[in-house]
Amino acid sequence: MTQETTKVETDIKDCIDGYSNIRNKISEKNGLVDTDNSSATQETQLLEYLRLKNQNQELKWRITMLEQGLTHLGQALIIVSNRAEVLFASKAAELLLKKQQGLIMVDKHLNAELTPDNIRLQKAITSAIDNNLSQDNSISIYIHRDQQPRPYCLSFSRMPKQLDERRDGFNVLILVKDLSLNFEYWADRLAAKFGLSRREVECVILLTERRNTTEVSDVMSISPETVRQYIKNIFKKIY
């Protein structure tokens, strides 16, 4: 028996033992004991272990791609449980929370630094958990921060659940958009492609943040009529 063959057999045994340990823990938890150690059973265990391992690797890959795409657009992802505890935070979200600028973690719960923002945040999370969202199944709020003129935009949506699990409330998916990064990302691209002025670009980006005409006029310190004129000019240039 060659050294290479021995290594392969050792790797297979490690895989079988790894899967068996996981399965035995589940069996013990449910009051079950599995004593079948036949070769056929071991082979089945190995195949199942490798299948689960591949699924796990594929899931990690998908999560990584999602995180990279969101980060590229200046967005972070947070998932909150039906108990309002943070279950998952993308790498961008972890960095954002570590800065403690606008959004913070308190005992596994997502909070806003400013009291008025935190009231809106907790209400939005509760509404999503209880399935009291708008018709488009989402809600958006702004979270302000002292160090940046542009706030975070948080979009909330409930995550699907089986019918018998819904009585406990829904888990909540939160997309956090850094509007400062979003502006930097789109400003030059919109100006170059469509020939928009700086103020027209600002108007477009504010509209994509789900702001209405009045809100855009307040942010840009112009009249609502001027905003409407900007929109007309933008449409002419784009179309």
Strands 109-112, 103-106: pairing is: antiparallel
Q: Look at residue 229 and tell me whether its pLDDT is greater than 90.
A: yes
> Are 170 and 129 spatial neighbours (Cβ–Cβ below 8 Å)?
yes
Q: Look at residue 109 and tell me whether its pLDDT is greater than 80.
A: yes
Strands annotated E in the chain: 75-80, 86-89, 103-106, 109-112, 139-143, 152-158, 172-178
Report pLDDT for 73.
Answer: 61
State the distance between the two ends of the chain, measured CA to CA, in whole angstroms: 73
Report pLDDT for 203.
Answer: 92
Question: Residue 60: which domain range?
Answer: 3-66
User: Would the pTM count as exceeding 0.85?
Assistant: no
Domain assignment of residue 187, yes or no: no
Helices 179-194 and 224-238 pack at an angle, to 10 degrees, of 50
pLDDT digits (tens, 9 = 90+) for 128-182: 888 766 545 678 898 988 777 788 889 898 887 666 655 667 788 898 988 777 7
Number of domains in the chain: 3
Let me know whether 22 and 59 are in one domain.
yes
Let me know whether 33 and 92 are in one domain.
no
> Are 156 and 137 spatial neighbours (Cβ–Cβ below 8 Å)?
no
Domain assignment of residue 186, yes or no: no
Last residue of a domain, one of 11, 33, 66: 66
